[in-house]
Amino acid sequence: MGVVNVSPDSFSGDGVIDTEEAVARAKQLTSEGADIIDIGGESTRPGSDPVSIDEELGRVIPVVEKLAQDILAPLSIDTYKLEVARQALDAGAKMINDVWGLRKEPALADLAAQKGVPIVLMSNQRGSSCQDIISTVISDLKRAIGQALGAGVPWENIIVDPGIGFGKTQEQNLEILQRLDELKTLGRPILLGSSRKSFIGWVLDLTPERRSNKVTFIPPGDQRLEGTAATIAIGIAKGADIVRVHDVREMARVCRMSDAIVRGV
């Protein structure tokens, strides 16, 4: 899954606003090996300001409309807003990626059921704390799966995401990767979104520079490339079925090599 951030403040430093630039990026990612394109119009980095529904629609809908005509790869809409998801599906998107796992907007499950599209349910711990992260994530995902099934989403259209980042401590992010295979008890495909996340910078001592008590933001970019590759390879070994990445060309190679070793394909 290749990431197209149609926002100026993406944590990963790759956000774009211009529709044509976003379309060109998506086409590049598919040429590099992306099987799915995930389009989002609101930054999910800690401390980012939420955007209005109208602003998010203005960012993503033209991109979805254009890409639905121009590329064969299915499009995923990364949103927790019902109206954004609805209009994106009408414009040609084929999947919903909900970073709040139906907590913010339960009706996303009804929409997914109505449209017959897959939905990614992510476990998000922002605003809460927990001691046993894996138990908390599994419990939260069971809750979300139950909601989706109750709304009529077919079992085979549900994908789960443990939510690397999103309210976890850096140690808990590492623990999720160490114990990712425990999510197999849920019986659903696992999506892993570790690409360029802050815990990689934390482990590799690539945190923002501090000069004169001011923090200078350093876009992760290729500074976290090797760290991301390690998380992808280990994630696949632990059972990840979909990996959401910014650096598709390099990570597609990591996936192929990891699959050859782990799955013999």
| Residue range 98-140, pLDDT digits in tens | 999 999 999 999 999 999 999 999 999 998 888 899 999 999 9
Predicted confidence at residue 213, as pLDDT, reads 44
pLDDT of residue 220 exceeding 80: no
CA dihedral 96, 23, 30, 262 (to 10 degrees): -40
Closest C-alpha among 42, 39, 37 to residue 56:
42
Tokens of 31: 């040429």
The pLDDT mean for the chain works out to 91
- For residue 198, the domain's CATH number is 3.20.20.20
Q: Considering the chain, what percentage of its residues have pLDDT values greater than 90?
A: 81
Active site residue 197: yes
Predicted confidence at residue 214, as pLDDT, reads 43
pTM reported for the whole predicted model? 0.91
Ranking 119-123, 168-172, 207-211 by mean pLDDT, the lowest is 207-211
- Kindly give the interhelix angle for 170-178 and 225-237, rounded to the nearest 10 degrees: 40
CA 44 to chain CA centroid, Å, is: 10
pLDDT of residue 12 exceeding 70: no
**Taking a C-beta distance cutoff of 8 angstroms, is the pair 80, 50 a contact?**
no
Number of domains present in the structure of the chain: 1
Number of helices (H), then strands (E), in the chain: 9, 10
Ramachandran angles phi, psi of 37, nearest 5° = -115, 125
From the list 25, 59, 94, 244, the catalytic residue is 244
Q: 153: burial class by Cβ within 10 Å (0-12, 13-18, 19+)?
A: buried
Q: How many residues does the chain have?
A: 265
From the list 81, 168, 197, 224, the catalytic residue is 197
What band does 14 get if pLDDT is binned at 50, 70 and 90?
low
- Dihedral sign (CA 85, 43, 158, 264): positive
Mean pLDDT of 23-28: 95
Q: Give the C-alpha distances (Å, rounded to integers) separating 7 from 12, 25, 49, 206.
A: 11, 13, 11, 23
What band does 35 get if pLDDT is binned at 50, 70 and 90?
very high
Cα(238)–Cα(199) distance, integer angstroms: 18
Mean pLDDT of 216-223: 58
Mean pLDDT of 182-197: 97
Alpha helices by DSSP H, 71-160? 82-91, 107-115, 133-150
Domain around 81: 2-262
Predicted confidence at residue 15, as pLDDT, reads 57
Active site residue 244: yes
Predicted confidence at residue 208, as pLDDT, reads 59
